[in-house]
Amino acid sequence: MRDADLVLVDAEIHTMDPEHPLAKGIAFGGGRILGVGTNAQAEKWAGRTTEIIELGRKVVVPGFIDAHAHLMESAARVSNLDLGGCVSLAAAVETLRRGVARAGPQGWLVADDWDESRWPEGRYLTRNDLDRVSDTIPIAAVRVDRHMASVNSVALRVLQIPLGTRGFEATASGAPTGVLKEDALERMWDALWPAPERLAAGFETVAGRALSLGITTVHDVVGHDEIRAYQIARAAGALPLRANLLARDALLPHLAAVGLMRGFGDEWLRLGGVKVFSDGSLGARTAALEEPYADDPLERGMLIHPPIELRNILAGISAAGLPSAVHAIGDRAIEVVIESIESLAIDPGARHRIEHAELLHPEQITRMARLGIVASCQPNFVGNWSLPGGLYERRLGPERNALNNPYREILRRGVALAFGSDGMPYGPLEGIHWSVNAPFQGQRLTVDQAMSAYTLGGASAGFEEGAKGSLVSGGVADAVVLDGNPWQAPEHIRTMRVSATILSGRIAKGNLASSR
């Protein structure tokens, strides 16, 4: 019997193991959980070198799994300008003006996270706004949903995107508005994206932030550059957290040609599935709806792929031995995904997933349950946009808005639920807060259900429920010590902090007082 490296006692441990939901002590050693149960059951693993920490009833939960992240991509933004805190369009323009002085190495000024739904002006940033910031430096300002960017005239000259490219917005007279979506946006990223070495260099910063929020595993959406960056980061030392990779669908032919199936890799870095887009976002009115947008009666959004094309893509992913993770937000897009999986008669054990699954009808949930489709949802979206009077109510009207993000219905009808953030922003406690304190009945979860969706839910979506997502003997030693008790003060969860994050049995972030 080996000695533990770290033993926690006098804790309130919520294991997420339905057999033994509560415990007081836990022992970690060699990167695994050696034992969990009473204080005595944990302390029996202690040896001469073991660190024993009394937690004074602090709450311990499994390490959070963010099942929809863009963490390596966000390493590209470490030095970008942040417009997330700007309270108006005018303030955003002012922030950009001050940022012009620190334009990046390629001479671009890139800014992130503007959100016109919080601005009194209530409109998108445009080329005209950005031309007032600079007529010499190319500027790209990316909207918070990352499905849209606004650029200035200099940037348009550099990018040379042909008029008529899908998503290249222009006025009736043909003048570009500077708003780029879909294919036009892809063209912009092709020109701007940093090399894998730079991504890997920025990863420590973003992974450090994620760890301080209690995240120990991400299901990370990646392309070629991010996959390389992960390997570069790992070769340079231990990865700061674990990643389950969701490869963009452009890589599918290559993954299939090599024969890489789900699970390739190990507990730190592994292949999880293939990410496909089927529509856009509600904010950009590109999410595909059955009925028109409430605030634009001529608009129903867009399907990225015609139904037959999507079906063929999903057939290819399935044949390659990989789960698909299909971005579908509007009820029309969700319907097309469900129909595709129905018609392909895919094994329900394959755990294909719908990412976001926001506007979801009860009857669709029942079909998802039958097909074994996982709902991969972001409860922070509820707090961001679905509150009464918020963006979703404007886009959908009050009646349809009450249907959005129906987590309680998803669980009640037997669909597996995995929570993540989509990085908007990262923060499991923020997401758990909004699912517990959601405005609509059909959204509201218990603390246990929400906590499980942010731990076991992601583990199960990644086929790792034996090793991750619950604190059981033999599992990986990833855990979070909370400052505050969500079960005792559920209405204050979002104000609670993480005291310490334990990764592979070591305190990777934060500190724990009262050692003995």
Which residues are at the interface with Zn ion (CB under 5 A)?
Answer: 422
Query: Do the Cβ atoms of 101 and 453 come closer than 8 Å?
Result: no
Looking at the Cβ atoms of 152 and 281, the one nearer to Zn ion is 281
Looking at the Cβ atoms of 302 and 471, the one nearer to Zn ion is 302
Q: Least separation, in Å, of the C-beta of 329 and Zn ion? A: 10
Q: Least separation, in Å, of the C-beta of 290 and Zn ion? A: 23
Q: Least separation, in Å, of the C-beta of 36 and Zn ion? A: 34
Q: Least separation, in Å, of the C-beta of 426 and Zn ion? A: 12
Looking at the Cβ atoms of 116 and 422, the one nearer to Zn ion is 422
Query: Do the Cβ atoms of 27 and 3 come closer than 8 Å?
Result: no
Looking at the Cβ atoms of 249 and 422, the one nearer to Zn ion is 422
Looking at the Cβ atoms of 17 and 249, the one nearer to Zn ion is 249
User: Burial letters for 266-290: b for 16+ Cβ neighbours within 10 Å, e otherwise?
Assistant: eebbbbbbbbbbbbbbbbbbbbbbe
Q: How far is CA 113 from CA 77, 124, 144, 230, in A?
A: 11, 12, 4, 24
Q: Least separation, in Å, of the C-beta of 420 and Zn ion? A: 8
Looking at the Cβ atoms of 381 and 407, the one nearer to Zn ion is 381
Query: Do the Cβ atoms of 283 and 295 come closer than 8 Å?
Result: no
Q: Least separation, in Å, of the C-beta of 382 and Zn ion? A: 16
Q: How far is CA 513 from CA 8, 52, 257, 481, in A?
A: 11, 11, 52, 12
Looking at the Cβ atoms of 70 and 242, the one nearer to Zn ion is 70
Q: Which long-range contacts (CB under 8 A, 24 or more apart) does 393-398 make?
A: 394/117, 394/294, 394/295, 395/282, 395/283, 395/285, 395/293, 395/294, 395/295, 396/282, 396/289, 396/293, 396/294, 396/359, 397/294
Q: Which two tokens stand for residue 365?
A: 């949930």
Q: Least separation, in Å, of the C-beta of 388 and Zn ion? A: 25
Looking at the Cβ atoms of 279 and 422, the one nearer to Zn ion is 422
Looking at the Cβ atoms of 53 and 67, the one nearer to Zn ion is 67
Other Cβ atoms within 10 Å of 91 Cβ, number:
14
Which residue's structure tokens are 């987590």? 407
Q: Compute the distance between CA of residue 21 and CA of residue 24 in angstroms, rounded to an integer.
A: 11
Output Rg (C-alpha) for the chain, integer angstroms: 23
Q: Least separation, in Å, of the C-beta of 68 and Zn ion? A: 6
Q: Which two tokens stand for residue 151?
A: 């650029």
Q: Which two tokens stand for residue 303?
A: 């399907």
Q: Give the nearest residue (CB) to Zn ion.
A: 422
Other Cβ atoms within 10 Å of 123 Cβ, number:
9
Q: How far is CA 314 from CA 26, 29, 111, 343, in A?
A: 42, 41, 34, 11
